[in-house]
Structure 1
Amino acid sequence: MIKQSQTLPNPTLRALLPGDALTGGGTDVGNRAALSEIDASCRVPVLFFFLSGLAWLLAGTVLALVASIKLHTPGFLAGWEWLTFSNVRTAHLNTVIYGFASQISVGVTIWLMCRLCRIPLVAPGLVTVANLFYNIGVTVGVGGILMGDSTAIEWLEMPRYATPILFISYALIAVWTIVTFRLRAERHLYVSQWYLLAAVLWFPWLYGTAQVMLLIEPVRGVVQAAVNWWFAHNVLGLWFTPIGLASIYYFIPKVIGRPIHSYYLSVLGFWSLALFYNWNGMHHLVGGPLPSWMITVSIVASVMMLIPVITVAINHHFTMLGHFGKLKHSPTLRFMVFGAVSYTLASLQGVASALRSVSEVTHFTHHTIAHAHLGMYAFFSMVMFGAMYYILPRITQREWPSNSLISLHFWGVALGIVLYVVPMSIMGFIQGTMLNDAAVRFLDVVQFTLPWLKLRTLAGLLLAAGHVAFVINVGWLLVRMFEPYRKPVVRILTGEAETVAAAKQP
């Protein structure tokens, strides 16, 4: 850790260290006071984002379990017309994408941006109100899906009347995040800030463009499919991925106390992601009625994604080298490293799946679902869990109350997602091979998938157990935070305070 009295020898070294480490971290009283002020400014909005996100996570988990059971037991809840598989699966997707993942990612972004800019959050009250309306938008959207108002456009299924609420709410949050960045006290930009600022700007471009071209003034014909996959693929790659990588770049060096391995690899990884990822979506339409050049360009761009993936993997691995022993002591580090490894695996699987020879087998199979969960859950969600394990004790000024619940959370979700992704990937490939064989009856393919789908439900139960353990631990942490205020409130409510005051009067 660099002390306040030390001089950083060159700009490159500054780029390797998180901004709030540049003046000595916790060794300097003034620096600790500044960080405490920053954390205090973020406390209410970030807690609101996290608690709202976790509430949607629990709702999404229930919907996911219902959808999973329906795949192998179609009669489950068959008497409830609003709980058909299509409704439940779509509601689950939008709940976890817009309710859980987006809110947690915004909360992490705000806290990281304030810490790295070394400035308290600008207009925390406005950000909190905007988040309240954002949650209203998600509630309206998910409710509309369950009532049958889905647009039937994947990742954009929320009805049109929910869209303005979501977009305006996010715009307000994004504007004040950018204002906070603009007023930063630390002029040096750390690598995490590149990714965070890019994500904050990329998402409204993606969401707004897709809404206009698919719902407000719809384009015609197969162009709709092209726009749909451009959006669906880039939401993961240009919204969630940058925030996930920004978190890894911040928390791994922060926890182990050493700088990122290579500044130049960080630059290469960032700009190659920005250059190649936005071309990727069309490879999901291999065999579709689109111009061959569009799909070919997308496949080439997918293969070129090996550049950012490998550079980021090398940077993370060599940063951690010699510090893997700290994994058993830090929940943040465990989740971050698990997520970093999963990012590499998900990206390599994505590159392979983009190839025509592979896509012809895996398309329209459960292999695609496994790949989506490897990227969205094993990478992004695990990283967000790790970030919350670091941030929550700092904004509540309380330690985690239960190590057992932390272990249950990690092992539940880690084993659950492995049990989900590995069998589903294998099954999906076999399923695709059987579907391509004209001699195999479709009913035989369905019968083949049933045992694997039951295994998927078991994996979902493990994930659910981990989620419940985490939410209980967070609730316990909040109880500890409010403990000093409990007795005064009880005294006021019971009238004890007035009795004591009257007794003291002469």
Structure 2
Amino acid sequence: MAVTPPAPTAADRAQAARERAEIDTSCRGPVLYYAASAVFWLLVGTVLAVIASIKLHSPYFLTDSPYLTFGRVRMAHLQAVGVGWSGMSAMAGGCWLMCRLSRATLPYPRLLLVAATLWNVGMVANVVGILLGHGQSVEWLDAPRYTAPFLITSVAIFSAWTAATFVRRREPHVYVTQWYIFAAVFWFPVLYLITVAMIFWVPSTGVVQMVVNWWFGHNYLGLWLTPFGVGSAYYLIPKIIGRPVHSYYLSIVGFWSLALFYSWAGMHHLIGGPIPAWLATASTVGSMMMFIPVIAVAINHHMTMLGSFHMLRYSPALRFTVFGAMTYTAVSFQGSIESLKGFSEVAHFTHYTVAHAHLGAYGFFTMVMFGQLYYMIPRLTGREWCSARLISLHFWCDAIGISIYFVALTFPGWTQGRMMNDPNVPWGNIVEYMKPYLFTRSVSGVLMGVGHVAFAVLLVMNLAGWGRRRGTGPTWFAEPPPADQKQLAGAAAD
């Protein structure tokens, strides 16, 4: 017969609050360093993204500088955002979440500071090196060869630190968020080392390099960024609304099916290329099987939120996180369908795939990371955000911006693919057809950039001591009614 544990007393709650405060104090320096660095690289990547986007419809824009050609700017943008912002924001959240869920103060803080500095040094060499013409013409591996040791050493230190923190845990239960963090920090170093070795250090021959390239590119998103994004959503949604995850067993299904099937994906990008047919087919099967983990995660998140969707009106962190979680479901379904041979024959080499990639990397991952930072930063600095209006500006600029971006490239991109497959359509007609949609892409990029600047201003003001001290009430978009205040009180105090 199951025994219901006794309800925590006031003394228990006070002790738990002191423990959380101690953990947050220990995390403050390294986590804020990671977070501030991530936002810096986001701003750098945003400027580069807007320049690259404008060049697609105005090719004579900034043509006087050899350092700002489309090829260099586009590669530098991908590295600044895909490696600089994404990697450092993921590790910032992973560090704090691992300590919180392990109920352990942060060990070896100087080691984390060294790891973050190595990542920053590698990123400076990465972006500057690409603009100087040292980039590699390999998708997702555009960084100059001399940056790899910095990134590998940094992530190796972070992985070792994660294991050390877990060993020191005082919480016997292992949470689903911790599974995803562990998966990311141990999958990625192996993925990166094998890829760099087979493409650059001891180069493979022939089409093997293509296969390794797309295996890395797809799994960088699925086995590095996705675990951090999904794991963060699993923590934030229940914590903010004050309810447990809907199904622990469903989260197990989602995690292990992701581990089993995602590593097969990626080869469908080479359908029609000179690779064995079985390889592309196996990749398509793996992509279609991804319906299992995606549906499991979607059910868990939706059922956890059921009855609490109205709280999106109040909580900034919840609004960003739920937007990202819903986008994860949509972009994953889209990606599985896109792996089918008949579909790929039209969508391949078009702006349709560009829209899909941005929906995943931005609409899902980046929006969840923003939600995590909005929740985490006040607990580290001891101050709430100073302006709900700036937060609202940030959310709507980013949400509307990525929506416009996706729509403006998805449907025209499909038409572009059909026109490309028609031998009677001149190439110049296809270029002219896409120009207004590429202009719309630039407008959406500027809109998202406004949101990024708003967040950067909020972060600088918070770090500078602006905003009321925690304990006097959280930063809400609107004042919740008494019933909702009671449900949100746990998240506000935690």
- Superposition pairs for residues 397-412 of structure 1, below 5 Å? 397-412=382-397
* CA distance in 2 between partners of 1:47 and 1:221 (Å): 44
Does the 8 A contact of 1:195 with 1:243 survive in 2?
yes
Alignment-derived partner of residue 69 in structure 1: 54
Does the 8 A contact of 1:26 with 1:32 survive in 2?
no
Report deviation, 1:92.
0.1
Q: Is 2:269 the counterpart of 1:284?
A: yes
Does the 8 A contact of 1:397 with 1:481 survive in 2?
no
| Residue from 413, 419, 432 that aligns with 1:447 | 432
Report deviation, 1:159.
1.0
Alignment-derived partner of residue 258 in structure 2: 273
Q: Is 2:136 the counterpart of 1:165?
A: no
- Superposition pairs for residues 158-197 of structure 1, below 5 Å? 158-197=143-182
Amino acid at match of 1:301: G
Report deviation, 1:465.
0.6
Does the 8 A contact of 1:269 with 1:309 survive in 2?
yes
Alignment-derived partner of residue 408 in structure 2: 423
Amino acid at match of 1:409: H
Q: Is 2:129 the counterpart of 1:138?
A: no
> What are the ranges of 5 or more consecutive residues in structure 2 without an aligned counterpart?
470-494
Alignment-derived partner of residue 377 in structure 1: 362
Report deviation, 1:417.
0.2
- Superposition pairs for residues 291-310 of structure 1, below 5 Å? 291-310=276-295
In structure 2, relative to structure 1, the CA distance for the partners of 1:25 and 1:359 (3 Å cut) is farther
Report deviation, 1:8.
4.5
Q: Is 2:313 the counterpart of 1:345?
A: no
Q: Is 2:380 the counterpart of 1:395?
A: yes
Does the 8 A contact of 2:386 with 2:467 survive in 1?
no
Does the 8 A contact of 1:396 with 1:478 survive in 2?
yes
Alignment-derived partner of residue 441 in structure 2: 456
Alignment-derived partner of residue 102 in structure 1: 87
Greater displacement, 28-37 / 412-421: 28-37
* CA distance in 2 between partners of 1:60 and 1:154 (Å): 16
| Residue from 115, 137, 151 that aligns with 1:152 | 137
* CA distance in 2 between partners of 1:271 and 1:391 (Å): 28
In structure 2, relative to structure 1, the CA distance for the partners of 1:8 and 1:282 (3 Å cut) is farther
Report deviation, 1:263.
1.1
Report deviation, 1:400.
0.6
Report deviation, 1:123.
0.5
TM-score of the aligned structures, taking structure 2 as reference length: 0.92
Q: Secondary structure at the match of 1:439?
A: coil
Report deviation, 1:166.
1.2
Alignment-derived partner of residue 317 in structure 1: 302
Report deviation, 1:466.
0.4
Q: Is 2:73 the counterpart of 1:92?
A: no
Report deviation, 1:97.
1.3
Amino acid at match of 2:208: V
* CA distance in 2 between partners of 1:264 and 1:417 (Å): 33
CA RMSD of aligned residues (A): 1.7
Report deviation, 1:41.
0.9
Greater displacement, 120-129 / 459-468: 120-129
Q: Is 2:111 the counterpart of 1:126?
A: yes
Alignment-derived partner of residue 491 in structure 1: none
Alignment-derived partner of residue 359 in structure 1: 344
Does the 8 A contact of 1:252 with 1:336 survive in 2?
yes
Does the 8 A contact of 2:68 with 2:131 survive in 1?
yes
Q: How many residues align?
A: 467
TM-score of the aligned structures, taking structure 1 as reference length: 0.90
Deviations 1:436-458 (A, max 9, x none): 00110001000000000000001
* CA distance in 1 between partners of 2:195 and 2:171 (Å): 36
Amino acid at match of 1:49: Y
Q: Is 2:41 the counterpart of 1:59?
A: no
Alignment-derived partner of residue 490 in structure 1: none
Amino acid at match of 1:93: L
Does the 8 A contact of 2:262 with 2:286 survive in 1?
yes
Deviations 1:352-386 (A, max 9, x none): 11000110000000001000001000000000000
Amino acid at match of 1:56: W
Following superposition, which runs of at least 4 residues in structure 1 exceed 6 angstroms of deviation? 22-27, 481-484
Deviations 1:233-260 (A, max 9, x none): 0000000001101001000000000011
Does the 8 A contact of 2:328 with 2:360 survive in 1?
yes
Report deviation, 1:24.
8.2
Alignment-derived partner of residue 231 in structure 2: 246
Deviations 1:246-279 (A, max 9, x none): 0010000000000111111101100000000000
Report deviation, 1:141.
1.2
* CA distance in 1 between partners of 2:232 and 2:161 (Å): 20
* CA distance in 2 between partners of 1:356 and 1:137 (Å): 38
Amino acid at match of 1:199: A
* CA distance in 1 between partners of 2:162 and 2:247 (Å): 28
Alignment-derived partner of residue 257 in structure 1: 242
Report deviation, 1:311.
1.0
Does the 8 A contact of 1:396 with 1:481 survive in 2?
no
Does the 8 A contact of 2:181 with 2:231 survive in 1?
yes
